[in-house]
């Protein structure tokens, strides 16, 4: 048996003899599936079927996504946070699109088409919400978490053509400790990690 190595985009032609003189030609084309930099847990996240305010998140198109807002979550459990948002605050869902755990894993918690309330920029919010797990106004994020937040941010910038000037913290829009980077002096660490990721 002859073995060949094929790469993404290569065509493989296989001729299969049939009864008689005819042959059947099969053409297979290898296409590499995109490897996403996150784990999709949207279907496992609690949602509120009857939210009070706002009644539903704004539904936006990819072209309407124009910025990224960094938060800290004050928690290490995305599902518990989602239940707090839906049951206590009567929101439609969790208020973070992405959850960056302290071990460096990144989870997609809500569809990016949901323009959710999260940084005091209104109901028709054009920003992606990136939540870094923990109380990061009391303790700096571990390096692996910081690097993971930089990677998902760089990926979003590339996917949605978002300039660096539109990557901000929650406290750049509102008087809050969130995401904690000014209280614990790690803002420059985040942007340095992001800059290094963008250069790669």
In tens, the pLDDT along 66-112 reads 999 999 999 999 999 999 999 999 899 999 999 999 999 999 999 99
Does residue 135 sit within a domain?
Answer: yes
Does residue 8 sit within a domain?
Answer: no
Does residue 145 sit within a domain?
Answer: yes
CATH number at residue 104: 3.40.80.10
Does residue 27 sit within a domain?
Answer: no
Share of the chain above pLDDT 90, in %: 75
Count how many residues are written for the chain: 200
Does residue 166 sit within a domain?
Answer: yes
75 vs 132: CA distance, rounded Å: 9
Structure tokens at 47: 């949602």
145 vs 152: CA distance, rounded Å: 11
Provide the pLDDT for residue 35.
82
Number of domains observed in the structure of the chain = 1
Are the CB atoms for 107 and 101 separated by under 8 Å? yes
52 three-class SS: coil
Provide the pLDDT for residue 1.
45
Q: Is the pLDDT score of 29 beyond 70?
A: no
Does residue 74 sit within a domain?
Answer: yes
Does residue 161 sit within a domain?
Answer: yes
37 three-class SS: coil
Q: What range does the domain containing 79 cover? A: 39-199
In tens, the pLDDT along 96-108 reads 999 999 999 999 9
Given strand 98-100, what is the order of strands in its sheet? Answer: 39-40, 106-108, 98-100, 127-132, 67-72, 167-169
Stretch (H or E) spanning 11: strand 11-17
Does residue 81 sit within a domain?
Answer: yes
Question: Across the strands, what pairs with 130?
Answer: 70, 98
Tell me: cis bond preceding 117? Omega within 30 of 0 counts. no
Provide the pLDDT for residue 199.
85
Provide the pLDDT for residue 32.
53
β-pairing, 23-29 vs 11-17, is antiparallel
């Amino acid at each position: 048996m002859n073995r060949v190595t094929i790469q993404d985009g290569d065509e493989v032609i296989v001729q299969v003899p049939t009864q008689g003189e005819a042959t059947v030609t099969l053409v297979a084309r290898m296409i590499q599936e995109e490897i996403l930099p996150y784990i999709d847990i949207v279907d496992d996240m609690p949602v509120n079927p009857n939210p009070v305010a706002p009644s539903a998140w704004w539904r936006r198109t990819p072209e309407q996504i124009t910025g990224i807002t960094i938060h800290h979550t004050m928690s290490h459990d995305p599902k518990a946070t989602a239940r707090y948002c839906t049951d206590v605050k009567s929101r439609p869902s969790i208020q973070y699109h992405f959850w960056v755990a302290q071990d460096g894993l990144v989870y997609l918690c809500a569809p990016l088409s949901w323009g959710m309330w999260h940084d005091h920029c209104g109901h028709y919010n054009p920003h992606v919400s990136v939540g870094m797990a923990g109380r990061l106004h009391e303790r700096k994020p571990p390096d692996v978490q910081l690097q993971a937040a930089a990677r998902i941010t760089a990926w979003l910038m590339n996917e949605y053509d978002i300039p660096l000037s539109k990557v901000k913290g929650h406290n750049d829009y509102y008087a809050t400790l969130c995401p904690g980077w000014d209280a614990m002096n790690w803002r420059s660490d985040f942007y340095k990690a992001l800059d290094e990721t963008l250069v790669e």
